Amino acid sequence: MLDTTQLRQLIFKILNSELSGQDMNVYIRHCTAFATAYLFSRKSAGNLSAEYLEAGETRLQQLAMDSIAELFARDEQGSFYKLKHYYEPLLGAIRANPDEALFMTRRLVIAHTKQSMARLFQGNDPSGYRIYRNLSLVHKRDPNINSCKYGAETYLFLWDQPGEAVFPDDLNPSQPEIEWEAALLLHDQTHRGLDTLPAIVHGFLSELNQDPDVRHFICRKVLYKVLKESMGLITIPMEESHFIEDGGHPGSFEITQTDQKVYTDRIKIFLRQNIQQRFVAKSKLEKGAAEAYTGILDLYFEDLLMDGFAGKLPDYLARSAFRDMQPELWKVHRGRLEYLIKIGRTQLQSMYEHDFPNQPEVPIEDS
């Protein structure tokens, strides 16, 4: 891999239309490495299209190159106009700090790789794509529908009672998850007469809450399969896309590494306050455990802000004071940490929307 100074020099050559063929090959290899690493992270999480979940390194590298190929388009003068359009507003920050070259290039590549994966899914399965994307956004359209990351999965549940739900403690967790056939039957009973996905999901989860013999939450992947099974040919109203369009607005990427340091510090303060108020002050957590919480969360949000995605909690557990903890005890702490991550991500997005009200969303991976 290039060091940051070498990458910065390549960016200067791109902006000055001085890039040689050899230089361009080096730059493309550098970008492909970022995209490939991202795809491997999505593969390990089970979040690639089914046809790529078993793909080896060579196939993923080819997919990575295809995902970012449009970045290297040239105009009639031979300039890499998309790269110039992206880097020009960032030139001051890159000149001042070579690390910005690495950070902003990685951000560009990952954003376009995400966009390409969305297009691939949309092209291979248009109806499935509509259902999946709207299901990913449904908790933003209905305030009573909640989305919670727990372990390696994302779960949905309905909570219309006063106060916040503690996941999974408040949701009948001792019972098994609803079986596939029962979920299909429940959906068939609840979706008639409803024409938007939030209303359909709300109705399903509301009925799920009435059954004392099952958990009152469902894995998003399972609910997607239920909806796809019965609604795969139905057109569902869609919201505006959260993916970056071709020739994306440069404002999508104008947050510098210095800005990210500010956001990192602010989210750390927010999470420490919540750990103190919700757990330490109520004698639910000792000082040593609270420090382990902050260590795990610091690593998680540093990765999230730098790359737009973070690893799974077990990845951070191995690097924390909890690494030798018994599995049963870890389950208790994991639930709390998942909750803190959820409110931290929500707070982070609110910070961005407040500071940059006219810009697109920060491209942070949601699942």
pLDDT tens digits along 334-357: 888 988 998 988 888 777 766 654
pLDDT tens digits along 257-279: 556 677 788 889 999 999 999 89
14-17 long-range Cβ contacts below 8 angstroms, 24+ apart? 14/80, 14/83, 14/84, 14/87, 15/84, 15/87, 15/88, 15/91, 17/77, 17/78, 17/79
Give CA–CA dist 42/191, Å, rounded.
32
Coil, helix or strand at residue 148: strand
| Structural contact between residues 117 and 282, judged by C-beta atoms closer than 8 angstroms | no
pLDDT tens digits along 299-335: 888 777 765 566 677 777 776 777 777 777 888 888 8
The per-type count for the chain, helices as H runs and strands as E runs, is 14, 3
Q: In the block, which residue shows the tokens 């039957």?
A: 185
Bridge partners, 156 (sequence order)? 147, 218
> Does residue 125 surpass a pLDDT of 50?
yes
| Structural contact between residues 244 and 115, judged by C-beta atoms closer than 8 angstroms | yes
> Does residue 122 surpass a pLDDT of 70?
no
pLDDT value at residue 359: 44
| Structural contact between residues 255 and 362, judged by C-beta atoms closer than 8 angstroms | yes
pLDDT value at residue 254: 42
Q: What average pLDDT does the segment 96-106 reach?
A: 87
- What pTM does this model have? 0.47
